[in-house]
Amino acid sequence: MSDDLASNFSPADTEAKLYEKWVAAGYFTADPHSTKPAFTIVIPPPNVTGSLHIGHALDHTLQDTLTRMKRMKGFETLWLPGMDHAGISTQIIVEKQLRENGSSRQDIGREEFVKKVWEWKTESGGAILGQMRRLGDSVDWSREAFTMDAGLSTAVLTIFKKLFDQGLIYRAERIINWCPSCLTAISDIEVDHQDDAGEFVQVRYGEGDIQITVATTRAETMLGDGAVAVHPEDERYKHLVGKMVLLPLANRYIPIIADELVEMDFGTGAVKVTAAHDPNDFEMAVRHNVPFVVIMNEHGVMDGSGTVFDGMDRFDARKAVVEALRAEGRIMDEKRPYVHAVGHCFRCDTTIEPRLSKQWFVKVAPLAKAAGDAVRDGRVKIEPEELEPRYFDWIDHMHDWCISRQLWWGHRIPVWYGPDGEVIVVGPGEQAPSGYIQDPDVLDTWFSSALWPFSTLGWPAQTDDLKKFYPTSVLVTGYDSCTSRTCPGSVWQKDV
């Protein structure tokens, strides 16, 4: 027996060398010209800022098992790796580095900032790919992709123009989820709802014969009220519908309207309508032509109310407004503790502010219907079947998707504005006319990730990879893990 024989087996000393030998030999490389039947999995792209956790380990184990099984059964298998550019997360990291050096993105400008992000990506991003190699993932590294690659960026421009021309992308003022810390709109699935302790207050609006009491947990937003709403069948308030009532502190008159959205048995049965700062109020305001009064800026600071509260942080203003109302004798019921679900930014935990903002949206109804029909008619199967109701609950109740983000890192929205208000979309290989200015926002990271199953295979070009390996075979994801932010359900499959 050799004296050099180690007393313990060290996987790191053996597995890494063996794995690299397999990769170099092309054992995991897919051949688009093969006559074997195809089996394809594309990994939902992890964030370039991320690292693997136990959920990924399970997820990748399942994908690797399926891939290796199909490879041994004679299929031409492609397991395609890559990364997502993670717009907000990546920008936050680079901005933090700039602050530590006494600078900011505004100081260095957009072009230089984007260069800094690319430098960070080259030097520090993508640790998750190294971890995948350590796990022994049998992915085809020759096809590794990144959502900001040139080919994938061409796919983004192509699909944006196509959807715009079809009327499925539009710009409008809507209530969006706004993070006063990240300073950008974020999607519903980037909002974590937590049970926060708040206070329920009842406030008397009006004087004399025209008085009505509303209940609220966000007293500061009353400065932006455009109306008070009651249920049309509520006998207590029928005589007040159509009257004008004095809005305290703001000292202006607002109408009392009737709308079936109001719950007669909740609170006082009368609700304030703050159309620019609440999604339900927005819908009522549209139905009743109620004005939209914006009383808060992007930092969550009171601004535009025309009152002494302008300049206060929203939470400081909440306390100050209640105290001012109490001094006027308008608090009809002492503050009561009230635990309710409040949205928080899942990146920084800042309380989300519903905010009226002009943004770009995708009209999702026809797209969601197509995704639902694919499962209903059997083209796509969900395993286990008991998760189908969860999928349909998600797909059948979507509202239009806000796709614009107030960031510098990402795919810049390919819309240009002319000097006389003209709006054009510039597709791949096209140029905007002289004097036109591009929209400053970028697209939601998931706009490019949504194209991943076919953009990574060369679309919109009709490549050999696309012909051979699309549509893909399986999507494995956990409904209770971080991957649920991109893909609900458990396994989507057409052939396992």
Per-residue pLDDT at 335: 63
Among 55-64, 135-144, 206-215, 315-324, the least confident range: 55-64
Q: What does the alpha-carbon distance between residue 257 and residue 80 come to, in Å, rounded to a whole number?
A: 56
381-427 residue pLDDT tens: 998 899 999 999 989 988 899 999 999 999 999 999 999 999 999 99
Residue 340 has pLDDT above 90, yes or no: no
Please tell me the predicted confidence (pLDDT) of residue 487: 40
DSSP secondary structure letters along 159-221: HHHHHHHTT-EEEEEEEEEEETTTTEEE-GGGEEEEEEEEEEEEEEEEETTEEEEEEES-GGG
Averaged pLDDT of the chain: 91
**Is it the case that residue 1 has pLDDT exceeding 70?**
no
Does 493 have pLDDT greater than 50?
no
Residues with Cβ within 8 Å of 201's Cβ and at least 6 positions away in sequence, in order, are 215, 216, 217, 219, 322, 325, 331, 333, 335, 336
State how far the Cα of 289 lies from the Cα of 404, in Å rounded to an integer: 26
Residues 329-341 have a mean pLDDT of 78
Residue pair 476/54 in contact (Cβ under 8 Å)? The answer is no
Average pLDDT over residues 49-70: 90
pLDDT, average across residues 319-324? 96
State CA 342 to chain mean position distance.
17
Query: What is the pLDDT, as a whole number, of residue 132?
Result: 92
Contact 63, 472 (CB under 8 A): no
Q: What is the pLDDT of residue 480?
A: 57
Residues 161 and 460: their CA atoms lie apart, in Å, by: 12
> What is the model's pLDDT at position 88?
92
pLDDT, tens digit, for every residue of 285-312? 999 999 999 999 999 999 999 999 999 9
Q: Is the pLDDT of residue 369 over 90?
A: yes
Query: CA 405 → CA 187, 237, 239, 289, distances in Å?
Result: 10, 42, 45, 28
> What gap in Å lies between CA 143 and CA 164, rounded to an integer?
30
The CA distance from 325 to 249, in Å, is 8
pLDDT at 29: 98
Assign residue 155 a region: left if phi > 0, alpha if psi is -120 to 50, beta otherwise? alpha
Task: List, in order of start, the domains of the chain with CATH numbers.
Answer: 11-145+446-493 (3.40.50.620), 190-345 (3.90.740.10)
334: pLDDT confidence band, cut at 50, 70 and 90?
A: low
pLDDT of 465 higher than 60? yes
φ/ψ of residue 459, rounded to 5: -55, 140
| More confident position, 465 or 347 | 465
The percent of residues in the chain predicted with pLDDT above 90, rounded, is 80
> Per residue in 255-282, pLDDT tens?
999 999 999 998 899 999 999 999 999 9
pTM score, whole prediction:
0.89
State the Cα–Cα distance between residues 64 and 81, nearest whole angstrom: 12
The torsion angles phi and psi of 379, rounded to 5 degrees, stand at -65, -30
What gap in Å lies between CA 459 and CA 2, rounded to an integer? 57
Dihedral sign computed on CA atoms, order 96, 98, 104, 105:
negative
pLDDT reported for residue 154: 97
pLDDT for res 494: 40
Pairing of strands 145-146, 169-179: unpaired
d(CA 368, CA 355): 25
Model confidence at 485, in pLDDT bands (50, 70, 90)?
very low
Looking at residue 253, its pLDDT comes to 97
